[in-house]
Structures are given as structure tokens and as C-alpha cells.
Structure 1
Amino acid sequence: MHIQKLAVFDLDRTLLDDRSAISDETAVRLRAASAPGFACTVASGRDLERIAPYVQQLGWLSVPVIAEQGAVVVDPQNGLILMERAISPEVLLGSVETVRSMDIPVNMILYGRGDPQVFRNAGAPSFIDEWKSSWYTSHLRYIPATREIATDGVRKISIVCLPENTDAARQLIAESLEPRANVVKADRNFVNIMDAGVSKGAALRWLIDYLGLESSHVMAVGDCEADRSMFGVALVSVAVANADEQTRSLARFVVPSNNEQGAAVALERFAAGEFGV
């Protein structure tokens, strides 16, 4: 298919409702919205394994997905990595030492080519016990000596904590690592760390060039700080109503919340040309 228009959706609290699901009714609306040369994809902080069920549910398999907060662009049909940005050892080990010394209890997950490395700092409980996969909790351990941490091929670091501690954790990490790193709040209890220059927006720019599109024919939909970099790349920027205030203020358009099928509304309006393209 020759793609002429592309819609890119954040996943959590944008495409997904607060139950981390796409309802049958919403899925029907998303699949039904179409136009000649029209395609959709996902840009998420998640890895492909945790994105795949949703793109399969919607049949969005014709366009690469942006995963791991923009560190990876990958073909959802075969898992082939088309673009990859690893974290430098300097930023990775700096992140580890910052988390090790923090008074805020957090869990830390290093994502990359191999199995994730899952740590917690001193006194921290497990914040991942309720995740569907028990693999993470079974591999959770206190931060080991630096020599025991694999640095090769790590692409993204996620910090998981209590929602009331997320802003403080983000600020401490950013003060320690910036401008060498890109530190963003990705959800109410998540902070993601990548190398400077790695973001969903940078990955979207790569994908636009890869597909031979014009930015004026691209829509990006999101809800939080991690999505704002896409708003500077896609001409059509859309926030769901549950987005934070700054994200809403930066978006050209605002649609209903993630629990009110806002993603479907955005897609229908974009396909119909109501956003001016």
C-alpha cells in the first residue's frame, strides 16, 4: 500500500483506556476509519512484545511501530528492527548511581537486546507485582555492583515508583543526567531515560522519512510529556482530554478522553479531513 496519510498513537492513557484495554466498540470504530492511502501505527514507551497484542487487535501491521520511547522502530509483522538507538555507558551507569543514591523508593528496568535487567534501590518494594507477567518480579533484585550490570545494547531505562513520587524522581534524575540524557515522565508512575536526542519525535521524523511522507499528512495523538516531541514533527497534533495541561496546550486539537473513545474520534476526524489535511 502506498501510504499518503499516517496516524500515530501513544498507547497508555491515549489509545488504551484506564483498564489498559481497547474496547470492542472502540476497536470497531478504529478499524472502520479509513481513506485511500491511509495507515495507522503506535508510538509507545513499551517494547514490541507489549505493543504487539494491540496492533494485532486493530490490524495495524502495515507500518513500523515506534517502541521503547523512540529508541527503536520495528516491523510489527516480523520483529525486524529498522532503527535502533542504544544508551551510552556513561548515561546508563550515571542513571544507576543516581537511582542507587536516591531516597525515593523506585524500581529500575533496563530494556535492550537481551532480557530486561530489573533492579530496585535500597528499601524499595516491588512496584511491578501487579504486572501481568511475573517474569519481572521474579528477576527483581537490589542494584548490584556496577561490574555486574550489562551495559551493551541497553536502549531505554524505565523508573517505576509511586505516582506521588514521579515528578520528584524525574527532577532528580534530570538534574543528574541532563544534557547527556533525555528524561521524560511517561505515565503517572513512570519516568523513562534515553540518550539525548532519542525521543518519540526523533523516531517519528525517521519513520516519516523512511515512508516518504510529508509532515503535513501526519497526525500524532498523545497525553503526556513523553508524547510532546511528536507534536513538533507531525503537523496535526492531538491531545486526549485526560492529557496533562501542558500537553493539551501544545496540541492543535483536543478530543475526548481515553475512556470516551478519544482515539477513535481523532482518527475519524483525521480520515475525514476535518483537521485541515
Structure 2
Amino acid sequence: MTSATDTRQLPAAVRLIATDLDGTLLRDDKTVSERTIAALADAEEAGIEVFFVTGRPARWMDVVSEHVHGHGLAICANGAAVVDLRAGGKLLDVRPLDRAVALTVVQALRAATPGVTFAIETTTGFHHEPDYPPPYFLDRASTVASAEDLLREDESDPASAVIKLLARHRELEPDAFLTLARTAAGELASLTRSSPSALLEVSGLGVSKASTLALCCAERGISADEVVAFGDMPNDVDMLNWAGTSYAMGNAHPDVIAAASGRTAANNEDGVAIIIEQILRDLHLPKA
């Protein structure tokens, strides 16, 4: 495993930087440091695209929207949505979770993990069950009802697509909950987690940060070998495996450390900026 200052694994040409937000680009207080802001701007000025790739929904992207420079593209909800931050989070693409499949996942998790409660993220709002623990971060629910009722087709807005199903458990250990859930429903949908609590995120089968990032890169003629990715939690593992070069943060989950090709400093120590600065220094080295 290489260190933050040993960049032997960096590719000769870096065309895109893909970075997670919480626990990665953002400090624990949810701010972006001045050093990181400068590194992102310098990367884009050098012609390197920067994609924010996160489990957050588009409406939570205000933490970085003011730092967008030339590109402004974000992959949100673990790959289920692509948004343009320059246009206030305008949805460019959606990879939804089929409502009937989501309902089957709910039934499977209720049987496998009694006590589980659910919330649903759609393109038009956030909805949760009465027993779902207190409001999901900064959101006020649009609707409070059972998951079964929430997953019925929204006749008032047929365009409302399910972006993500959330499952929370008050007693299970987070990794154990994920293992149980994948055993019960892993053939139906993509299940992962990014929270330190027992909160799982469920997307359509095959939908992940990695698969959507790969699609976005293909549209731009960018190969995996030209991508450098950063992450800290299990929902980043597929992306770190896909990218030609990847870094686990100093505060990363063990599965992320195992998946990444390198390690950098923790999020509170500007680990992403450290690597971007090295990439930019390498661009200016005399050619052999």
C-alpha cells in the first residue's frame, strides 16, 4: 500500500478526478477547506475534469455548488442521478429503482431483519414511515406512511421516480445489517451503505457510483485508466475498483482500504487536495 506522498501509481495522463463528498472531500464539519477549493480550481484550469460522486441527493449539493468552476457535474444518490450544479441541481439523467422491485426488497428485509424501517427518496421529494428515526438529515418528509403505501404508483405525479430506498435498523451493527440485507435481497437490487449508523441505501440492480461514472466517462471518451478516484465508505468500493487509480482516505472503512490502489491523508487533513497537488506538479515536470 502506498502512502499519500508516494505517487508511483499515478497514471501518466489524468483526465478526470472523481471524489466522494462526506468523509472524503468534506471535512467533518461539512465544509470544504480553502486548500481543497484551490486544488479543485487548479485541476480544472489544467484541463482535468472534476466529478463529485456522492450518495447525497441533488438538493444536498449546496455544500459544493459554490465551488463549481468549469464543469459542475455531480453523480448523486450512489449513481441514480446525474445533475448539473451550474443549473441549480438540474437532473440530467435518472437511473430509477422500479417501484415493484423496491416493494419486493421491503418485504424481503422485513422478513430477514425484523424492526427495519424505511424511507424513500424520489425525484420529487423525501418520504418515510412513521417509525423511521428522526428526520433524515435536513429533510422534512413530503409524506409519512408505510413503505408499502409509499411505493404505490404516485397517481398525482406519475413522473415521480424512486431514486433510492433507505432502510434503517436501531439495533443491528452496520456491516452485519448490510450482509444480512445483501443475502436477502442482493439479487433484486444494489445495496450499500455510507453512514456510520445502520442505514442502508438501495438502488436499482447494477446502479452504483462506478457504473454511472463509467457511463459519463464513456460519453467523454475517457478511459478508467485516466481516472483518479477518492472515497471512504463501502458505497465507494465499486468506484475505487473501477478507476485506474484510487485512494482510500486516512479515515476510510477497511473495505475501502482493501479496494483502493493507494492511501492518502484523512478528510480533515485535506487528503484529496494533497493528491491533486501532486498530480498538478507532475504535469509541470520536464519531459524525459
Q: TM-score range by the shorter chain?
A: 0.7 to 0.9
**What SS does structure 2 have at the residue aligned with 1:227?**
helix
Q: Is the alpha carbon distance of 1:168 and 1:128 closer, same or farther for their aligned partners in structure 2, counting shifts above 3 Å?
A: farther
Q: How does 1:33-182 map to 2 (within 5 A)?
A: 33=43, 36-51=46-61, 53-60=62-69, 62-78=71-87, 79-101=89-111, 105-120=115-130, 124=131, 126-128=133-135, 131-133=137-139, 135-136=140-141, 139-143=143-147, 145=149, 150=154, 153-162=161-170, 165-182=173-190
Could you tell me which amino acid in structure 2 is paired with residue 119 of structure 1?
A: E
Hey, what's the Cα distance between the residues in 1 that align with 2:21 and 2:151? 35
Q: CA deviation at 1:250?
A: 1.7
1:175-226 deviation line (CA, Å, top 9, x unaligned): 2212121111222123111122111000010010122212222111001211
Q: Is the alpha carbon distance of 1:82 and 1:147 closer, same or farther for their aligned partners in structure 2, counting shifts above 3 Å?
A: closer
Structure 2 unaligned segments of length 5 or more: list them.
1-13, 284-288
Hey, what's the Cα distance between the residues in 2 that align with 1:169 and 1:83? 30
By relative contact order (CA 8 Å, sep 6+), the higher-ranking structure is 2
State whether residues 41 and 55 of structure 1, in contact with CA within 8 Å, keep that contact through their aligned partners in structure 2. no
Q: Is the alpha carbon distance of 1:159 and 1:75 closer, same or farther for their aligned partners in structure 2, counting shifts above 3 Å?
A: same
**What SS does structure 1 have at the residue aligned with 2:120?**
strand
Alignment partner for residue 27 of structure 2, among 13, 17, 22?
Answer: 17
**What SS does structure 2 have at the residue aligned with 1:21?**
coil
Q: Is the alpha carbon distance of 1:25 and 1:106 closer, same or farther for their aligned partners in structure 2, counting shifts above 3 Å?
A: farther
Correspondence for 1:208: 217
TM-score (norm 1): 0.83
Correspondence for 2:226: 217
Q: CA deviation at 1:80?
A: 3.8
Hey, what's the Cα distance between the residues in 2 that align with 1:170 and 1:184? 7
Number of residue equivalences: 265
**What SS does structure 2 have at the residue aligned with 1:116?**
strand
Hey, what's the Cα distance between the residues in 1 that align with 2:170 and 2:54? 21
TM-score (norm 2): 0.80
Structure 1 unaligned segments of length 5 or more: list them.
none
State whether residues 118 and 132 of structure 2, in contact with CA within 8 Å, keep that contact through their aligned partners in structure 1. no
Q: Is the alpha carbon distance of 1:168 and 1:89 closer, same or farther for their aligned partners in structure 2, counting shifts above 3 Å?
A: same
Percent of paired sites with the same residue = 23
Q: Is the alpha carbon distance of 1:13 and 1:147 closer, same or farther for their aligned partners in structure 2, counting shifts above 3 Å?
A: closer
1:258 aligns with 2:264: no
